[in-house]
Amino acid sequence: MAEYEDGSLPPREYVRENKEQLERLIKHSNNDFVRALAIAAFVEYGDDASVESITKDLERIKELEEVR
């Protein structure tokens, strides 16, 4: 695991190590800005499989909201 001089992780490693927390934010946060930041992190620094998984989750959430 590579670190910057200040001890922080490079963005790709941060996203990889905090995948579950970011997914939880996207699925359950009431704050649209926070959700957008988590999505942007996945799109920019996540694996392609992660981006695809998040896209599918967002589509399911949208479908559930339409049913309500």
Write out pLDDT tens, residues 26-38: 889 999 999 999 9
Tell whether 4 is covered by a domain. Answer: no
Tell whether 22 is covered by a domain. Answer: yes
| Per-residue pLDDT, 2 | 67
Tell whether 2 is covered by a domain. Answer: no
Tell whether 56 is covered by a domain. Answer: yes
Beta-carbon contacts of 5 under 8 Å, excluding residues fewer than 6 positions away, are none
- Domains in the chain, number: 1
- What distance in Å separates the CA atoms of residue 4 and residue 62, rounded to the nearest whole number? 38
Given a cut of 80, whether residue 8 has pLDDT beyond it is: yes
Beta-carbon contacts of 9 under 8 Å, excluding residues fewer than 6 positions away, are 1, 2, 3, 17
pLDDT, tens only, 44-63: 998 877 778 878 888 888 88
Given a cut of 70, whether residue 25 has pLDDT beyond it is: yes
Q: Domain range for residue 44?
A: 11-67
Asked if 51 and 43 touch (Cβ cutoff 8 Å), the reply is yes
Tell whether 51 is covered by a domain. Answer: yes
Give the mean pLDDT of the chain: 86
Tell whether 17 is covered by a domain. Answer: yes
What's the mean pLDDT in 19-29? 91
Tell whether 60 is covered by a domain. Answer: yes
